[in-house]
Structure 1
Amino acid sequence: MDALNEVYDFYRAFAGEKFSVGTSVLGRDIPCMKCGEGRPFVIVQYAIHAREWITSLLALSHISNFSSCGTFYFLPVTNPDGVALALSGLSSVKEPSRADFLRGLNGGEDFSLWKANANGVDLNVNFDARWGAGIKNVFSPARENFVGSSPESEPETRALAAFTQNVCPDATVSYHSKGEEIYWYFEQEPGDCERDFRIARALAATTGYAPAYTPGSAGGYKDWCIRALHIPSFTIEVGSDGLEHPVGLSQLGRIAAQNKYVPATLAEELLWTKR
């Protein structure tokens, strides 16, 4: 199964409101499908890390089984070039010089553990939230952890940030793999911290995952949403930590079952917060 093609096929067949929020380095669309209406407004984005493509298929499950109040914008694959590399290798890259560049960064032909985009930038450390201050950050192109030349240097990052500012969401969720944890904290003010931890506990109750905090992390989409927009924002890591990367299709049923009620739970918590 090619998860990227499945996402695009699903998108073409989707009967609801849909659109591209932007394009990748290599010109691939970043698709978005809208479900529901009214508040709260929530953005859920998946597969910003290439090897974590299993989350893009979780997105299709969320859309197919959507049953929640509020308006949800689902972005199944935020890093389409990276996912294409992780699944199909250099056959997904048409330009020979680009292929040579990526082969050199990767150290070979096997891209199954690739995380970055087609510029060798890790999109989830490319946002303007203590950019470049993460303990694992690197400062030249690589298959993971390169922060880019500046915050939002990448078209995928700029597209997601601009779309988020346009929607003005009440919360965002980013799906990653692996670890079965929910990251919720990024230097919030005390009142926001109490609010966000309460929501994280509710998400933990419905998934069975643990609320967690990672000191030394910076530059992520969650971090930027918390810092720039002052909204609750969560990174949910699917798949047991005992699994190897990339988490495979055999885990999808379990992951979908664990995360089935995340949209509804989040919407209910956000509505309770507004009371």
Structure 2
Amino acid sequence: MVNPDGVTLQQKGLDAFPEGAKSGLLSMNGGSSDFSRWKANAQGIDINRQYPAEWTGIRYSTQYPMYKNYKGSEPAETAEAQSMIRFTYDADPEIALSYHTSGRVLYWHFHTKPENLERDRKMAATLSGMTGYSLVKPEDYPSGGGFTDWFIAQFGRPGFTAELGPYHEETALPLWTFTDIWAENQTMGLYLASEGYKLSRQRYPIETVENKLQLLESVQLYNRPNESFPTGGETPAGPVVSDARMGDWFRISTWLGTKWVHLDKASYLQGHTEKFVQEIELQDETLLFKRPGAENHEPAGKLTPQKVTAHWNGGMIGS
């Protein structure tokens, strides 16, 4: 749910909000205490007109915050739109589907590139056949600002907006429509997941093979086998099992879920080895390195002759 504040206001009214916010909400609703038609967020900004997709050309925008259609003072100024944009970059999906109500129509085109037109049209036709929803014809100059408008334009990937249920004017659909909506849409997600998998395999020719690896240092995690999609997290040194590979990229299970790591030959060992501890007496001054195989790099320090305890852990030695 992208607009929890707006949904709460529509369902529960002013009593669900702090006293200091009530007068502003009433003003944005034209003085009416009936919020059943409300579609903006709690600041009176229509989030589905917030995305940077021909934002300046959005039609029928009001000039001030109100219950619908105000696009804001600039694109992506709301926390809700910012969160969706960040989430989309992090998840990096092959296909996006945005559910709205109402009207039983399917939007699928926003300045779609010619090379993607047949691909997206075919998917849209399949979704139309599944749901019975009419396809909205492409426009030369569409009014943008929507999430899938931005997704299609930004990523060049298929994006669909389904208007669920029979048209019901400016309010939420009644509960009696939900059974029909589920019957129409229950296979849509599985179909798009299947199509997304195909597109992913085209983009990334991945070899499915198990590799037991010993990471010699912590490494950056990525959502895709591509350095343009970092997660901001790392996985520590130690043994890992990779279930897929693409060149120097390996897919592993991590605390963030299934992610990719990019490994050069000096950052890992093939296979896992047993741990053991050994006492060593150093006879001479001995250089220290941050990892095995780093003899050609700047030493991290040195040890004087002494007895040390070496801990071998699949390629990791420490004293």
Give TM-score scaled by structure 2 length.
0.59
2:38 maps to 1:123: no
**Aligned-partner SS, 1:84:** helix
C-alpha displacement at 1:219, in angstroms? Answer: 0.4
1: CA distance, partners of 2:99 / 2:21 = 28
C-alpha displacement at 1:178, in angstroms? Answer: 0.9
2:148 maps to 1:225: no
2: CA distance, partners of 1:194 / 1:137 = 32
Residues 243 and 151 of structure 1: is their aligned pair in 2 closer, same or farther, counting only changes over 3 Å? closer
Q: Residue 266 of structure 1 is aligned with which of 192, 211, 215?
A: 192
The RMSD of aligned alpha carbons is 1.6
CA contact (8 A) 2:37 2:170 kept: no
**Aligned-partner SS, 1:132:** helix
C-alpha displacement at 1:209, in angstroms? Answer: 1.0
1: CA distance, partners of 2:114 / 2:46 = 30
CA contact (8 A) 1:115 1:144 kept: yes
Q: Kindly provide the amino acid, as one letter, of the partner of residue 119 in structure 1.
A: Q
Partner of 1:105: 28
**Aligned-partner SS, 2:55:** coil
Residues 244 and 120 of structure 1: is their aligned pair in 2 closer, same or farther, counting only changes over 3 Å? closer
**Aligned-partner SS, 2:74:** coil
2:82 maps to 1:176: no
Q: Which residues of structure 1 form unaligned runs of 5+?
A: 1-76
Higher relative contact order (CA 8 A, sep 6+): 1
- Which structure is higher in strand share? 2
The size of the alignment, in residue pairs, is: 198
Q: Kindly provide the amino acid, as one letter, of the partner of residue 111 in structure 2.
A: E
Q: Residue 157 of structure 1 is aligned with which of 63, 74, 81?
A: 81
Residue by residue over 1:237-268, the C-alpha shift from the partner in whole angstroms, topping out at 9 and shown as x without a partner, is: 11113677321111111111110000111123
- Which structure is higher in helix share? 1
2: CA distance, partners of 1:181 / 1:163 = 26
Residue by residue over 1:202-240, the C-alpha shift from the partner in whole angstroms, topping out at 9 and shown as x without a partner, is: 111111111113643210001010111211110001111
**Aligned-partner SS, 2:23:** helix
Partner of 2:135: 211
Q: Which residues of structure 2 form unaligned runs of 5+?
A: 203-319
2:166 maps to 1:257: no
**Aligned-partner SS, 1:116:** coil
Residue by residue over 1:166-193, the C-alpha shift from the partner in whole angstroms, topping out at 9 and shown as x without a partner, is: 1111011110111111100000110112
1:11-30 paired onto structure 2 within 5 Å: none
Residues 132 and 93 of structure 1: is their aligned pair in 2 closer, same or farther, counting only changes over 3 Å? farther
2: CA distance, partners of 1:225 / 1:266 = 15
Residues 214 and 82 of structure 1: is their aligned pair in 2 closer, same or farther, counting only changes over 3 Å? farther
Residue by residue over 1:29-84, the C-alpha shift from the partner in whole angstroms, topping out at 9 and shown as x without a partner, is: xxxxxxxxxxxxxxxxxxxxxxxxxxxxxxxxxxxxxxxxxxxxxxxx11000000
C-alpha displacement at 1:138, in angstroms? Answer: 2.1
**Aligned-partner SS, 2:100:** strand
**Aligned-partner SS, 1:135:** coil
Give TM-score scaled by structure 1 length.
0.68
Residues 242 and 101 of structure 1: is their aligned pair in 2 closer, same or farther, counting only changes over 3 Å? closer
C-alpha displacement at 1:272, in angstroms? Answer: 4.4
Partner of 1:88: 12
2:102 maps to 1:147: no
Q: Kindly provide the amino acid, as one letter, of the partner of residue 115 in structure 2.
A: G
